Structure 1
């Protein structure tokens, strides 16, 4: 059975405002351990460490071209996909999902039609700091993140107050439901048990949508035993266990159909899995390149060279874009509202 190996980077649980790790992502590659071990020996014949680690290798300039060449080899000759998201942008999308959309739902408005939520989140990302007043957007997001975690009356009240103390009238479409109405529907959605700002679900959903397309038939997943990947493991098991027949269109290039072709998932020690080590190289290079291109910090490898190696559909990104016409075209016909409702019923933690 075909096997995809997965590794992640940048996971910080519910905290999507972590200033040290502003991006999160994961990579999946279909390669067996024997071929992976051969490639590691070919590209790093003098490796002394007990396992291949992107971060350790990238620190040495002598390894840079070898890393880029290995990255190109994997992208050219193996089925693989990498997902990268800006966690602040993702938090804004979640804010719209829980603190805004339920208000419009009660009015009979499809808030997600043609990706309107992505456009509004992008607008907030780019202009919110100036539009809403000094520090207002940061305070709003911190309060929202806390309210999603704690579910307490005090946290919900603080969130409403954060919205009201901003210049919310300059963007009432996004902040009016809380600031003007303290929308009971929105507050109830935020307080719903099981919903959180943990992004593992979104990352995995994106990877699975591509693995399902790439896999020729039934397949399995292996990933490292790290603490961070425990959240991914639990979600994969829930995906595998879902047997209802249903398909959702998410964008121009993404859809997902249940039951999945994915049949099993196991945790392995990355020290004994060269294939998982190559997944680490893929996501490490992608996250570092994205950080460089977005101006967060300068990485070791040439970011443009790394990104230029990706082929069509090998890289999925969740990043802000103010090209609103392109957003609308790309997400036209999306079933986002149905997807959210379906996942809330079938995959929410008890």
Structure 2
């Protein structure tokens, strides 16, 4: 039975505006500990640390060729998937889901058809600070995040006021429901128990969709005992226990089918698992590349060299994309609304 080792990086819970960690990611690789130990010894024969950590190794330029060679072996010889998302974009996408879509739904319009929600979120992410006023736009996003977390009348009123303070008439299709109408259907959606801005479920959906596609037989997952992964562990257990028979098409290349082939999830100390350490290297390199592409970080591995190692099916990213026609084709005919409703019904955060 395959065992996928998972590690994550960049998790900040509900806070998707954390300036120090703009990206969140996770990696899963099907590799046994014996193979992992062999590869670590082969590429880092003089390693003295008790644990292989990407963050420590990448600080020294002399380690960069070895890290690239290790990643080359992993991506060439083992089943794996790496996921990276821009958290700020996810927050804007959630704004579209809860502060915009319910208004359209009440009027009989499918806001998710052909990825219209992604198109709107991408446009807002790209032009928001310039078009709506930088300080006001940032304050509005913070007010939305706070309203989802606190769900109090004051927090909801602050959100409406925040939307009204931006130049919302520049894009009334997105901000009109709250700015013009203080739409009760949107405020109710935001205040619904279980709705939050933690994107652990988004990350896991992406990883699992690929692990399910790569695995013909039942498989299991092993991950580190870190505090950040506690949320992932709970969600994985609930996904495993879900016994409904259903298949939902997410995009042109991804679907989610229950019951899962995933049968078990266990936690281990990463110091005792060379395989989990390699998952750390994979997600660390991917997030490092994302930060460098965004101009947020200097040093580290050459991001172009890192990304060139991946086959298309090994890398999933969720970032703003204003190629609207390509996005429309990619998401045409998908069941986005059904996916969101199904996961909200069965796997929403516990209030």
Q: Are 1:289 and 1:299, in contact at CA under 8 Å, matched by a contact in 2?
A: no
Q: How does 1:1-350 map to 2 (within 5 A)?
A: 1-350=1-350
How many residues are matched? 350
Q: Which moved more, 1:164-173 or 1:275-284?
A: 164-173
Residue deviations 1:122-164 (CA, integer Å, cap 9, x gap): 1101111111124121111100000010011100000000011
Q: Aligned partners of 2:104 and 2:247: how far apart in 1?
A: 25
CA contact (8 A) 2:128 2:134 kept: no
Q: Could you list the per-position Cα deviations for residues 291-336 of structure 1 after superposition, in whole angstroms to 9, with x for gaps in the alignment?
A: 1112121241111000000002100000001111111011111111
- Paired with 1:112 and 1:133, the residues of 2 have a C-alpha distance of 27
Distance 2:107 2:243 in 1: 33
Displacement of 1:344: 1.1
CA distance in 1 between counterparts of 2:340 and 2:285 reads 31
CA contact (8 A) 1:291 1:299 kept: no
Deviations 1:206-230 (A, max 9, x none): 0000000011210000000000000
5+ residue gaps in structure 1? none
Alpha carbon RMSD of aligned pairs, Å?
Answer: 0.7
In 2, the alpha carbon distance for the partners of 1:231 and 1:299 equals 31
Q: Secondary structure at the match of 2:313?
A: coil
Q: Which moved more, 1:84-93 or 1:291-300?
A: 291-300
Structure 2, unmatched stretches of 5+, are none
**Cα separation, 1, equivalents of 2:56 and 2:117:** 39
Distance of 2:336 and 2:44 partners within structure 1? 44
After superposition, give the CA deviation of every residue in 1:155-209 in whole Å (9 maximum; x if it has no partner). 0000000011111111001101100111111101100111100011100000000
SS at match of 2:19: coil
Retained in 2: the 8 A contact 1:218–1:263?
yes
Report the Cα distance in structure 1 between the residues aligned to 2:23 and 2:162, rounded to whole angstroms: 25
**Greater CA drift, 114-123 or 130-139:** 130-139
> d(CA) in 1 for partners of 2:76 and 2:173?
45
Q: Deviations over 1:8-36 (max 9, x none)?
A: 00000000000000000000000010110
C-alpha distance in 1, partners of 2:299/2:67?
13
Question: Within 2, Cα distance between the matches of 1:266 and 1:192?
Answer: 32
TM-score (norm 2): 0.99
- Offset at 1:349? 2.8
Distance 1:299 1:314 in 2: 24
**For the residues of structure 2 that align with 1:214 and 1:299, how far apart are their CA atoms?**
34
How far, CA to CA, are the matches of 2:308 and 2:326 in structure 1? Answer: 21
TM-score, length of structure 1 as denominator length:
0.99
Q: How far apart are residue 61 of structure 1 and its match? A: 1.2
Q: Distance in 2 between matches of 1:215 and 1:192?
A: 36
Preserved contact between residue 201 and residue 235 of structure 2 (Cα < 8 Å)? yes
**Aligned equivalents of 1:94 and 1:25: distance in 2?**
18
Q: Is the 8 A contact 2:92 2:141 kept in 1?
A: yes
State the SS of the aligned residue for 2:298: coil
CA contact (8 A) 1:115 1:328 kept: yes
Tell me if the contact between 1:114 and 1:331 (Cα under 8 Å) persists in the aligned partners: yes
Contact 2:196 2:349 in 1 (8 A): no
